[in-house]
Amino acid sequence: MVKSIAYFGPSGTYTEEAAFQYDPQANLQPFPTIPAVGLAVSSSATDQGVVPIENSLEGAVNNTLDILISQPDLSIFGELVLPINHYLMAKPGTNADGIQVIYSHPQSLAQCQDYLEREFPNIQQVASLSNSAAVADMEKSSIPAAAIGPQRAAELYGAEILDRNIQDSPNNMTRFVVLALHDHPPTGADKTSMCLSFNQEAPGVLYRALNEFASRDVNLRKIESRPTKQMLGQYIFLIDCDGHREDPLVNDAIQALNTSNSVLKVLGSYPRWIDEEAK
């Protein structure tokens, strides 16, 4: 049976490319926002969903973190990492010297700031809903315009590529996660994502929480914070660690953190992405 996968669209985005790489046989369905992808999965309108969660240059994708924290039915089932190569494109025949506005997703604009300041220092930058939508915005513009996006977007919209690989860093990578109603069974090479909050502030409370992992020799890969959105100065801590939630040591740490002063929610255990080229 063909799997249906929601992704942060429209067609021509990097997320579509990630979804296709994850499952080339799936029925890919674009959704206009990351929360809409989450809702498609949580309501079983699709089997799974693919959304960006982290970029090597710009950090976390907050919309994805927020839906994982707030939607109890969603779990991370998998992850994959794609290199991000940005292209500058315009309507065929457009002269680069005449461009007055450049459209792209805010993350992509940020990832190309050095290039834009060097090549187009006085040009207006306008945020679009996605990299693919930026090409549509460019084509509808009444003034000479360009867009930044993936090569596939240029192919879909018939745009002319003016410049290639314009991202500020050659190591621009985006991590995507696969959302589902359950996480992945253990594979022996896993990662677990979780969020942790504290009911009361106290000196050393975070230190003691992290020591539950260190004392069991569980490696932490990432820790960051997000506002609880309930009160200024209150935060939720997002943690990635090696291992599966069913592994004895990881499970012991999780149980130790579910105390009267802390609440831990497992966002999912799933196979850890391994860079085959780095081996």
Burial class (CB in 10 A: 0-12, 13-18, 19+), 5: buried
Q: Which amino acid is at 106?
A: P
Report the alpha-carbon distance of residue 176 to residue 179 in Å, rounded.
10
Question: What secondary structure does DSSP assign to 28-66, as a single string?
Answer: EEEESSHHHHHHHHHTTSSSEEEEEEEETTTEE-HHHHH
Options 176, 198, 213, 237, the catalytic residue: 176
Q: Does 120 participate in catalysis according to the annotation?
A: no
Options 15, 46, 64, 174, the catalytic residue: 174
Peptide bond into 185 cis (omega under 30): no
DSSP element (H, E) containing 154: helix 151-157
Report the alpha-carbon distance of residue 40 to residue 8 in Å, rounded.
11
Beta strands in the chain (DSSP E): 4-8, 27-31, 48-55, 59-60, 75-83, 87-90, 101-104, 124-127, 145-149, 160-164, 173-180, 190-198, 220-227, 235-242, 262-271
Tell me the catalytic residues: 174, 176
